[in-house]
Amino acid sequence: MLLAHGDADGFIPAERITAFKAALSEAGVDWEMDVYAGARHGFTNPDAGSFGMEALAYNEKADQRSWARMQAFFDEIFK
């Protein structure tokens, strides 16, 4: 499982991320997480800023990096 998370995501507290990772590990899930500096919730959605919520914002750099990372991940698992 590949997780992409914005470091500046104000919707998901750090404690929930820690608990989620622990639950995945306890369940034996093969997971990895990429965290993108300065990225808020919805960072891959170009329209994220149109909702008038400070916690939502598009981040082009994080979007491009996470897209490239997802493609590499798919290349790995779908060989």
* Residue pLDDT, tens place only, 20-34: 999 999 999 999 999
pLDDT band at 79 (very low <50, low <70, confident <90, very high): confident
For the question of whether the overall pTM of this predicted structure is more than 0.85, the answer is: yes
- 4 has a pLDDT exceeding 90: yes
Instruction: Identify the pLDDT of residue 3.
Output: 97
* Residue pLDDT, tens place only, 41-50: 999 999 999 9
- 62 has a pLDDT exceeding 90: yes
Q: Residue 14 is which amino acid?
A: A
Distance separating alpha carbons of residues 41 and 9, to the nearest angstrom: 5
